[in-house]
Amino acid sequence: MVTYIYWFAIIGVAILLFAILARMDHWKSAVSIALIILMGGWAAYFFKFENLLARSYGGVMEVTVPEGMHNIGMTWKENSLWVENYDPESNTCIFKERTPGGIWQGEVRLHNCNPMMPTSTKVR
């Protein structure tokens, strides 16, 4: 919800300033300022606020599991999201860090990891 409020505020400010400047016949300035506000709001969201809003205020954030992998879990470390996926082909667990800005930075690979192996239910 807070993500939508953020975008309504950014778009509202851009429209308001555009309307004020357009009414004064400053069309070039109106378009320029509106575009700067929209681009600045977009950059601030994706490079600073996306993780913060999703973690601290219940915002919206999407993460896609790569093709052929299974998601095991996720956890927050400060403002970075760590995602654990399992690759059944290589029998590897892969932990990846998603930092603000949607950049995948850190990666840890755990080889011979098979968290989805069924446990034996034999009774001796």
Question: 40-85, pLDDT tens digit by residue?
Answer: 999 988 887 877 777 777 777 788 888 988 898 888 887 788 899 9
Residue with the bigger pLDDT between 5 and 116: it is: 5
The domain in which residue 31 lies consists of: 2-56
Q: Would you say 4 and 54 are in contact if contact means Cβ atoms under 8 Å apart?
A: no
Average pLDDT of the segment spanning 93-117: 80
Asked if the structure places residue 124 within a domain, the reply is no
Residue type, 16: L
Record the pTM: 0.60
> Are 82 and 38 part of one and the same domain?
no
Asked if the structure places residue 122 within a domain, the reply is no
Asked if the structure places residue 97 within a domain, the reply is yes
> Are 74 and 105 part of one and the same domain?
yes
